[in-house]
Amino acid sequence: MRPDHATPPPPAHRRRAGRDRPHRLWAAALVAALAAVATVAVSLAAPAPARAAGLEEVTGFGSNPGSLRMFRYVPDGLPHDRPLVVALHGCTQSAAEYDDETGWTELADRHGFAVLLPEQRSLNNGNMCFNWFQNTDTSRGSGEALSVVQMMDRMRADTGVDPGRSYVTGLSAGGAMTAVMMAAYPDRFDGGAVVAGIPYRCASSVVDAFGCMNPGSDRSAAQWGDAVRGASSHTGPWPTLSVWHGTSDTTVAPVNQRELVEQWTHVHGTDATADASDTVAGYPHRVHRDAGGEPVVEEYEITGMGHGQPVDPGSGAGQCGRAAPYVLDVGICAAHHIAQFWGIGGGDPGPGPDPEPGDGTAVLGSDDARDGYVKAAADGSSATVGTLEGTLGLAVGRGVDGRHSRTVLSFDTSALPDGATVTGAHLTVARTSGSGDPWADPAGNTLVADVHGGCLGGSCTVAADDWSAPADAPAAARVPRPASGTAESGTFDAAGLAAIDPAGTTQVRLRFAQAPAGTAYVFLGAADRATLTVTYRT
């Protein structure tokens, strides 16, 4: 006979933040797995390959010891050396039911990266769960974990993706498998994101998995960290981690979010006490930094949400995904914020669709030779040019010496076509390090961008007078706090667009609207890590 709950539960997306249905996603999967041990009556036929537009199945990617299927999404015209995102579906799902629903393929088109979507087979697990609880599938060099790595190698051979920019994410059982991939192959991933998942090595059998799911396993941070460190000979650096969980999840208890944070902060040599906290789209968000001040773990607590992946359908800059079973419309798209945390979600757009006739987009890197920062007292007196650009980056905010820094970025906007009319623009910057939180000192502080056509001071080389030189468009846009990686400003206001010089140089000065009272600053990357995206009409 068929295993219990072989039919997927009713869709969870009919409520914005509904509680779990009685037929629980993972409970159904594990009951199915137990039944499969006792009987061979599970259908041996592979699931019908429901294909999304642009989703391609690939065969012949290695020995495939985990007997998985390989699907991929590669935007048309994707150049070599672009990032790779490995996206792992949850139980009862398939690659085609996880790609555009979660927003990952939409973001791949928007920002220019490839997506690898491994898919489970019903022969391996009766309810299509990745076997995150079986040691033979979660150890380096064997089973499903090795199959995923072989798929990554095939992606690199076929598409030329950058082996130094690989990321992994997943929902539910896919989230637990994400923790597996990060632990077993930390040398292959720069970052990961676990949505409603489980820490690495919480369970080593199907029976153990029930307790890990709910009520969860309470272990010390050192015990969790040792499990990761014991999974390979790797000694660092370690992948960063973004953790997402609904507070009303009764399938995978929310305590697993805390345990994941404890596991990976310990691996990074820090603790589980957040160094910064705020709200994003109304939901609590916390950031954990390492000894060097770098964000290494972030967590989102989605209040009132049950078991599933958060999405925010729409066409806005921060929106993505569409509601589906266990893909829940709660007004925030996890994939967007995860991509931002990894540093692949802005400032480096993919090829995208061809523009309409007469329209175009230019992405301009800053001119490193003309970039710099200026330090002064809060009133602008005693200004001097900063000297740490070559080692730490471009400073903004109040330093340990009590002086206030402003950064100047230069862009050669003469690259725009002759006669072009600027119709939109935004700035993308990358945080490299920092101390304190200048966005919260004082509360509600903002990082603003002054835009000027030509050179702010006496020359386009950064000089002391750039600190207070008048700009054509003061505070033309705001730049949000970057939790990690990149941050994208709002669209320049009308004065900011008018200030862009299509025939010469445009300079952007970054400053905090209010002077921090204590040490609170960030260092930003220059050159290709600071970009000005301009849309225009000819």
Give the bridge partners for 33, in sequence order.
none
Task: In whole angstroms, give the CA distance from residue 506 to residue 499.
Answer: 8
pTM recorded for the entire structure: 0.60
pLDDT of residue 10: 30
Q: Which residues contact 433 (CB under 8 A, 6 or more apart)?
A: 292, 293, 294, 392, 393, 522, 523
Q: Which two tokens stand for residue 526?
A: 């220059």
Q: Answer for the pair 68, 86: CB distance below 8 angstroms, yes or no.
A: no
- The verdict on whether omega for the bond into residue 215 sits within 30 degrees of 0, i.e. cis, is yes
Q: Which two tokens stand for residue 275?
A: 């160094």
Helix (H) or strand (E) segment spanning residue 15 = none
Q: Which two tokens stand for residue 108?
A: 């791949």
Q: Answer for the pair 432, 523: CB distance below 8 angstroms, yes or no.
A: yes
Task: In whole angstroms, give the CA distance from residue 241 to residue 191.
Answer: 6
| Residue segments in the chain with a per-residue pLDDT below the cut of 70 | 1-53, 346-359, 483-485, 527-528
Segment 348-404, tens digit of pLDDT: 333 333 334 456 778 788 888 889 999 999 999 999 999 988 888 899 999 999 999
Q: Answer for the pair 191, 111: CB distance below 8 angstroms, yes or no.
A: no
**3-class secondary structure, 536:** strand
Q: Catalytic residue at 172?
A: yes
Segment 63-98, tens digit of pLDDT: 999 999 999 999 999 999 999 999 999 999 999 999
pLDDT of residue 400: 94
Which is the catalytic residue, given 172, 217, 242, 484? 172
- Of 347, 457, 367, 364, nearest to 409 by C-alpha is 367
Q: Which two tokens stand for residue 537?
A: 């009409």
Which strands form 56-58's sheet, in the order they lie side by side?
A: 56-58, 69-73, 114-119, 84-88, 166-171, 191-195, 240-246, 295-302, 283-289, 276-280
Cα separations in angstroms, 357 against 314, 351, 415: 25, 16, 19
The letter for the amino acid at 419 is G
